[in-house]
Amino acid sequence: MKLQIFTVDAFTDQPFSGNPAAVVPLLEPVEDGILQNLAAEMNLSETAYVSPTGVREKPWVKCARFRLRWFTPTREVALCGHATLATAHVLFHCLGNTNSQLEFETQSGVLVARKNGRDILLDFPGNPPAPLTAEQETQLSPLLQVVTGGLPVGQLLISHTTKKLLVRLHHSCTRGDLEALRVEPGSFLSLHDGSLVKGVILTIRGDLSGNIPQDSPSHQPQYHCFSRYFAPWNGIPEDPVTGSAHTVLGPYWSQELGITTLKCRQCSPRGGDMNVTVRQDGRVDLAGRTTTLLQGHVTL
């Protein structure tokens, strides 16, 4: 069996930055075990498998609705933003799909991707975080001490729908502090079993400093928030740029800053940018750029 395969750097327009994902178009069913083994072989945070629905003639060109699944090196996951962005990129720019909007049937419902100038925009469910109970804070205390690397914490919240812990660092922490943080994500597994949390977001407010007063109408911050994301429970020590994490960050920072559209920077070593728009219907639009890195075939 020979399958097409692409690797795409998502949430960036520069190669070797952003978040790499593998995308495998499938016209025939493939056993889940093979899908998982291929994802492990690729050893990227996600490998996406996409299949057309309802169109037999030139399906990659004409079809507007697809089935989509995502696998980390160790398991299938219910939601992945950057691999969805990468999949839309492959369909639009590598396989010649002529539609301006694509729909993906997934475990998280129907997700929509559409062309938006140079960006691709993803329509995702929002996942606003909520306060932890006192019991949950006690349960996660050992993990929190390690994941922050000694940096002070300002606020602690959780998104139960995504099992993502949101840690807002104290306002004294800078982007430099966040980027310089060195932790060993593998150690998180011995501190928490994944029953409550499967990913940790560290975040700080964006850089609002400068010569223009913050309350001036002409003040335009470069970024509204910074973050990093760790998910060793899903086989991802640190994810370079994470769409699903921004379904949590977007609603949180939108409420904190009183705005609905945010420019966000995930400042992992690779780094990447996305624009997040929080909608009144509870969903979020994630917009970002993409670039193809590799294209070829895998033989199974």
Greater confidence, 291 or 210? Answer: 291
Which uninterrupted H or E stretch holds 25? strand 19-25
CB 166 within 8 A of CB 130: no
CATH code for the domain in which residue 117 is found: 3.10.310.10
**The 3-state secondary structure of 205-241, one letter per residue:** ECCCCCCCCCCCCCCCCCCCEEEEEEEHHHCEEEECC
Band (pLDDT 50/70/90 cuts) for residue 208 is low
Task: Considering the candidates 46, 105, 137, 256, report the single residue annotated as catalytic.
Answer: 46
Clarify whether residues 135 and 184 are in a common domain.
Answer: yes
d(CA 198, CA 212): 40
d(CA 223, CA 205): 8
In the prediction, which pLDDT does 207 show? Answer: 78
Clarify whether residues 294 and 268 are in a common domain.
Answer: no
C-alpha distances (whole Å) from 283 to each of 92, 111, 125, 157, 174 are 23, 11, 4, 19, 29
What are the tens digits of pLDDT across the range 5-55? Answer: 999 999 999 999 999 999 999 999 999 999 999 999 999 999 999 999 987
Per-residue buried b or exposed e for 78-109, using 16+ beta carbons within 10 Å of the residue's own CB: ebbbbbbbbbbbbbbbbbebebeebbbebebe
Q: 150: which residues sit within 8 A by CB, 6+ positions away?
A: none
φ, ψ for residue 225, nearest 5 deg: -155, 155
Q: Can you tell me the mean pLDDT for 135-160?
A: 96
Clarify whether residues 194 and 90 are in a common domain.
Answer: no
Rounded to two decimals, what is the model's pTM?
0.88
DSSP character at residue 11: S
Decide if 103 is catalytic. Answer: no
Q: Can you tell me the mean pLDDT for 200-221?
A: 63
What are the tens digits of pLDDT across the range 274-299? Answer: 999 999 999 999 999 999 999 999 99
Clarify whether residues 46 and 157 are in a common domain.
Answer: no
Indicate the burial class of 289 (C-beta count within 10 angstroms; 0-12, 13-18, 19 or more): buried
Clarify whether residues 219 and 256 are in a common domain.
Answer: yes
Clarify whether residues 176 and 271 are in a common domain.
Answer: yes
C-alpha distances (whole Å) from 72 to each of 83, 86, 177, 238, 251 are 10, 15, 29, 12, 26
Greater confidence, 212 or 170? Answer: 170
* For residue 216, pLDDT beyond 60: no
* For residue 219, pLDDT beyond 80: no
d(CA 108, CA 141): 30
Clarify whether residues 93 and 156 are in a common domain.
Answer: no
Q: Can you tell me the mean pLDDT for 91-96?
A: 97
* For residue 95, pLDDT beyond 70: yes
Provide the number of structural domains found in the chain: 2
What are the tens digits of pLDDT across the range 226-280? Answer: 999 999 999 999 999 999 999 999 999 999 999 999 999 999 999 999 999 999 9
Clarify whether residues 140 and 107 are in a common domain.
Answer: no
In the prediction, which pLDDT does 54 show? Answer: 82
In the prediction, which pLDDT does 211 show? Answer: 36
Clarify whether residues 75 and 205 are in a common domain.
Answer: no
d(CA 147, CA 168): 12
Clarify whether residues 97 and 183 are in a common domain.
Answer: no
Clarify whether residues 271 and 295 are in a common domain.
Answer: no
- What DSSP string describes 60-105? HHH--EEEEEEE-SS-EES--HHHHHHHHHIIIIIS----SEEEEE
Clarify whether residues 151 and 276 are in a common domain.
Answer: yes
User: Which residue range is the domain that position 190 belongs to?
Assistant: 130-281
